Structure 1
Amino acid sequence: MTDPVLQPGPVLQPGHGPIPAATYLPSTPEHVLWGRLPCAADAPVLTVAPGTDVTVDTVSHEGILEDQGRDPARYFARHGATEVLEDAVALAASEAPHRFGVDGPHVVSRPIAVDGARVGDLLAVTVLDATPRVPYGVISNRHGRGALAGEYPRDAEALYSAFATVSADGASGLLPLTEGGERSVRFPLRPFLGVMGIAVPGRERPHSVPPGPHGGNIDIALLTAGSTLYLPVQVDGALAYVGDPHFAQGDGEVSLTALEGSLRATLRFDVVAREDALRQFGELAGPLAETAEFLVPTGLDEDLDAAVQHCVRAAIALLQARFGMDPRLAYAYLSAATDFRISQVVDVVKGVHATIRKADFG
């Protein structure tokens, strides 16, 4: 297979191209945070009623970071890109606070308040659409990071970035087999947002890398269009945010990043009142996803063994609440019928998610 020449479009510049929702949030510097996640002290950039659809432009951190020159126009031009996102250029050139090596890398939206969301409720964020804004992306590995820290990057490299293109039909990513080679490996694109979360109490913004009960950088590749993420509300209004756009990711995300590329995402925000939430899901301690096929409880911990244990306990509790299943039988069912997948191992706090088939329960 020959890697095609990078074409100039389509590129979804801010405010241009299809914007599915009536409410639109761009990623201009005043609408985003860089490297930190919202907290209760952050004023919402939008306030919406439950059931509202919002189209959000997201910007990938790859190509704008300081160790890449903080100049996306120059960075991507080296790889043959003739058009670069204006909001990425503006953010890199702005005085937006970002302490490289202290803050996280991720660009996230400023918070969206949802009317009526109260502590104890669940915020439901449904992904209606996730469309690439550019026909290229980056997979990177940095010194001391990734599953094989100390082995990669090789030699004295502090950073290795692999540039990938999107196929003409928009369905596949194309990555060279060798540096400068003409042959490529082709793999499916499944766009999703790596960061989806709600604000934490207090006045301190969390680091953008480790996920937690607030969600954040959970990197669950199943959260493509049609999926819903449920998050236990920690502050009134929920103060939701998204970012860290991915074009594709394998479970584990072993080299540090997936195929990172900016997305235009359309999301629906709903509130599940506490009483309904308890009936449907039980008492949630952290994020829970749902797809057309699966219920997806999660487990998070710096220790991967502990993350698996947290996920198994969450799955048992979910089966009890949702289907009235005896916990001993739920434990047996999970062993026989459910896959426990590693979401990611590269974000300090490791993630595990279970895929419980809803069809098994009629």
Structure 2
Amino acid sequence: MPELLRQTDAHLGSTPSDVLWGRLPSRRDDPALTVPSGTVLSVDTVSHEGILDDQGGDPVAFFGRHGVPRDGVLVDAVDIARSLRRGPEDGPHVVSRPIAVDGAEPGDVVSVTVLAADPRVPYGVISNRHGRGALPGELPRAETSVSVFADVVSRDGVAHGRLPAVEGGPRVITFPLRPFPGIVGVTPDSDDRAHSVPPGTYGGNVDIALLTAGATLHLPVFVPGAGVYVGDPHFAQGDGEVALTAMEASLRLTLRLDLVPRTAALRRFGELVGPLAETAEYLVPTGLDQDLDEAVRRCVRAAIALLRARWGVDEHIAYAYLSAATDFRISQVVDLVCGSHAMVRKADFAEVGP
């Protein structure tokens, strides 16, 4: 699949020197790029599926078994598998090196808007492994990893993923693609590179499926320059991501990075203690915890704080509104730290004021 080139101010590739494998950047990592607020840039991402050791560590051979020719496998994926090493204690994800936003300081907010998410290949993989899906001990049935290949087809002029209903059989399941980055984050205030799997206050592996083209993730800044990174590209994911991964596949992302100074951020979001997503229709506060019940509680608290800061809503009324009008969804239950997000309709507050 030819890569779509869009007009951008800067570009970060996905060669071995552009990425980390299994870890997030730390404050000791030099930025790969430094850009001013408002910059539009493209970032190539590579899926970890097909390059992991339990899949043979050879993407040409792995995808070749599914009919993908050698020239249909990304050179970047081959080079990463050959030249980078990850230990058993590391995560699976390929993550971009950090991008600094000029002038960003702790206490500010950086807003990462996904302008486009273009497939780099016409296929992906959905995996179940490590006993970390929603049904550990039940699936997979055997102790080996299960990796299900999915290709991309057009249905009524719209790109869909395609799976066999039965392994090797002619009947197929198709579903619409909704490409997005599973990992969007800022650099934690630590000398150590954090594991790539659990999300945190810095974002990271949030796996919020609505972060498709047009959506924004607002993130509190912890280190000078913010150190934005992305990874874990998806072609599609259902809320929950119950099997451990969704349809993982490499993307070229077009992003805009905007700096929101602390005073403006407090007016818009309140004291932001974790990721806050936004679409044209919704503000989407989040909650994260190892326990899903506590993740939902944290999400409710974050939503109340947002309504109070942005629109001056009384606490008990905010709580009542959320109960009557807001859907609380499960982002994912498979990343060691579970995620919940709330869908707050902005139009409901049209008569309250800005």
TM over 0.5: same fold? yes
- What corresponds to 1:191 in structure 2? 179
Tell me the distance in 2 between the aligned counterparts of 1:28 and 1:152: 34
1:181 aligns with 2:169: yes
- Quote the offset at 1:117 in angstroms: 0.4
Q: Deviations over 1:198-233 (max 9, x none)?
A: 011131000000000010000000100001100000
The answer on whether the counterparts of 2:24 and 2:187 sit within 8 Å (CA) in structure 1 is: yes
**Normalised TM-score (structure 1):** 0.94
- Which residue in 1 is equivalent to 2:337? 349
User: Within the alignment, does 1:22 sit opposite 2:9 as a pair?
Assistant: yes
Q: 2:209 aligned with 1:221, yes or no? A: yes
Could you list the runs of 4 or more consecutive aligned residues of structure 1 that deviate by over 6 angstroms after TM superposition?
A: none
Aligned positions of 1:1-362 closer than 5 A: 10-12=1-3, 17-82=4-69, 83-94=72-83, 96-99=84-87, 101-155=88-142, 157-168=143-154, 169=157, 171-362=159-350
Once the two structures are superposed, residues 41-85 of structure 1 have per-residue CA deviations (whole angstroms, 9 ceiling, x without a partner) of 000000000000110000000000011011001100100112100
Alpha-carbon offset, residue 183 of structure 1: 1.3
Answer whether contact 1:20 1:266 (CA < 8 A) is retained. Answer: no
Q: Could you list the per-position Cα deviations for residues 20-40 of structure 1 after superposition, in whole angstroms to 9, with x for gaps in the alignment?
A: 313111100000000000011
Unmatched 5+ stretches in structure 1: 1-9
**Aligned mates of 1:19, 1:97 — CA distance in 2:** 32
Question: Shift in Å at residue 170 of structure 1?
Answer: 5.3
Whether the 8 Å contact between 1:254 and 1:344 is mirrored in structure 2 is yes
**Aligned sequence identity (%):** 66
What secondary structure does 1:167 align onto?
strand
CA distance in 2, matches of 1:330, 1:167: 44
Matched residue of 1:89: which SS? helix
SS in 2 for 1:320: helix
Aligned amino acid, residue 204 of structure 2: G
- SS of the residue corresponding to residue 171 of structure 1 reads strand
Q: Is the 8 A contact 1:143 1:153 kept in 2?
A: no
Query: Match for 2:303: what amino acid?
Result: A
Structure 2 SS opposite 1:265: strand
How many residues in Structure 1 have an aligned counterpart in Structure 2? 346
Is the 2:158–2:176 contact (alpha carbons within 8 Å) kept by the matching residues of 1?
Answer: no
CA distance in 1, matches of 2:40, 2:66: 35
Q: RMSD of aligned C-alpha atoms?
A: 0.9
TM-score (norm 2): 0.96
Aligned residues of 2:40 and 2:255 also touching (Cα < 8 A): yes
Question: How big is the shift at 1:18?
Answer: 1.5
- What is the CA-CA distance between 1:11 and the residue it aligns to? 4.0
Amino acid at match of 2:81: A
Shift of the 196–69 alpha-carbon distance from structure 1 to 2, 3 Å rule, reads same
1:305-340, Cα deviation, whole Å (9 max, x unpaired) = 110110000000000011110110000000000000
**Unpaired runs of 5+ in structure 2?**
none
For the 8 Å contact 2:119–2:251, the answer to whether it is kept is yes
CA distance in 2: counterparts of 1:20 and 1:171, whole angstroms: 23
Query: Does the Cα contact within 8 Å between 2:8 and 2:42 map onto a contact in 1?
Result: yes
SS in 2 for 1:163: strand
Structure 2: how far apart are the matches of 1:193 and 1:166?
18
State the one-letter code of the partner of 1:216. G
